[in-house]
């Protein structure tokens, strides 16, 4: 077993049954002209966690452990995009509209791709998900069951939306979840801080948190 001096207390895990899940590090959330920007957000905040996320991915690859990537995106005919999602609010571009990186949040369009620095390696599992949670309407649960995964380390964006939703889904499915604090980000720093507090409150009610350096050190040990 490996141990991380995590918060709110030590996180013990067997690397052989552990996977990394990198949530939605897509151009549509991280670059100008995408979905995140269409909602009025400052996307540069999210760009800051790309290097730490890259280090985490490299560490898992070096250890021979699974790296799983998710992408929030929809079918080109929008059949998996509920109107209540598409028509929400007053964004400058709606899901499916043509933008500078192709159609917003549509599978196969440039904006839906993961940023080049974090591109999936050949053979890594990529989950295209229509919801905020990565278990909803995807094959992720079956894939993890096939791997025999019990512990999940999380990175990605945004902390309080797709990352937290997926951690909660995973927690309810019996996975022991840990979030890499410096490899996740929100458009709202206060929301990131609050999400991290919520996750690890009440004796890790959703999961644990630690730094990328702590995670990598535990994998090396």
Considering only residues 97 to 116 of the shown chain, the ones binding ligand C5J according to CB under 6 A are none
Tell me: does residue 162 bind ligand C5J (CB under 6 A): yes
72 counts as binding ligand C5J under rule CB under 6 A: yes
Please, which contacts does 195-200 make with residues 24 or more away whose CB atoms are closer than 8 Å?
Answer: 195/159, 195/160, 195/163, 195/164, 196/159, 198/164, 199/164, 199/167, 200/7, 200/8
CB burial readout 91-121, b (16+ within 10 A) else e: bebbbbeebebbbbbbeebbbbbbbeebebe
- Closer residue to ligand C5J, CB minimum distance, 192 or 214: 192
Residue of the chain from 81, 106, 161, 210 that contacts ligand C5J (CB under 6 A): 161
Q: Which residues are catalytic?
A: 24, 129, 162
Instruction: Check residue 158 for interaction with ligand C5J (CB under 6 A).
Output: yes
Which two three-digit tokens encode residue 5?
């001096």
Among 179, 185, 177, which residue's Cα sits nearest to residue 214? 179
Q: Which is nearer to ligand C5J, 17 or 41 (CB)?
A: 41
Per-residue binding string, ligand C5J, 10-49, x by CB under 6 A, is --------------x----x--------------------
- Site for ligand C5J, rule CB under 6 A: 24, 29, 72, 132, 157-158, 161-162
């Amino acid at each position: 077993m490996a141990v991380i001096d995590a918060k709110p207390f030590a996180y013990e895990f067997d690397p052989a049954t552990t996977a990394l899940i990198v949530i939605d590090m897509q151009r549509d959330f991280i670059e100008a002209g995408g979905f995140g920007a269409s909602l009025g957000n400052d996307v540069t905040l999210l760009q800051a966690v790309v290097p730490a996320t890259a280090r985490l991915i490299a560490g898992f690859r070096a250890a021979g452990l699974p790296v799983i990537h998710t992408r929030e995106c929809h079918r080109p005919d929008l059949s998996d995009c509920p109107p209540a999602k598409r028509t929400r609010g007053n964004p400058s571009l709606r899901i499916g509209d043509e933008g500078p990186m192709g159609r917003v949040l549509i599978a196969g369009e440039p904006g839906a791709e993961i940023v080049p620095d974090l591109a999936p390696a050949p053979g890594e599992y990529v989950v295209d998900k229509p919801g905020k949670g990565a278990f909803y309407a995807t094959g992720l649960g079956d894939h993890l069951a096939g791997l025999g995964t019990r512990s999940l380390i999380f990175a990605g964006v945004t902390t309080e939306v797709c990352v937290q939703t997926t951690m909660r889904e995973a927690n309810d499915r019996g996975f022991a979840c840990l979030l890499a604090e410096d490899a996740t980000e929100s458009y709202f720093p206060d929301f990131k801080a609050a999400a991290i507090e919520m996750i690890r409150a009440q004796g890790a009610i959703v999961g644990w948190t630690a730094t990328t350096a702590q995670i990598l050190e535990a994998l090396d040990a």
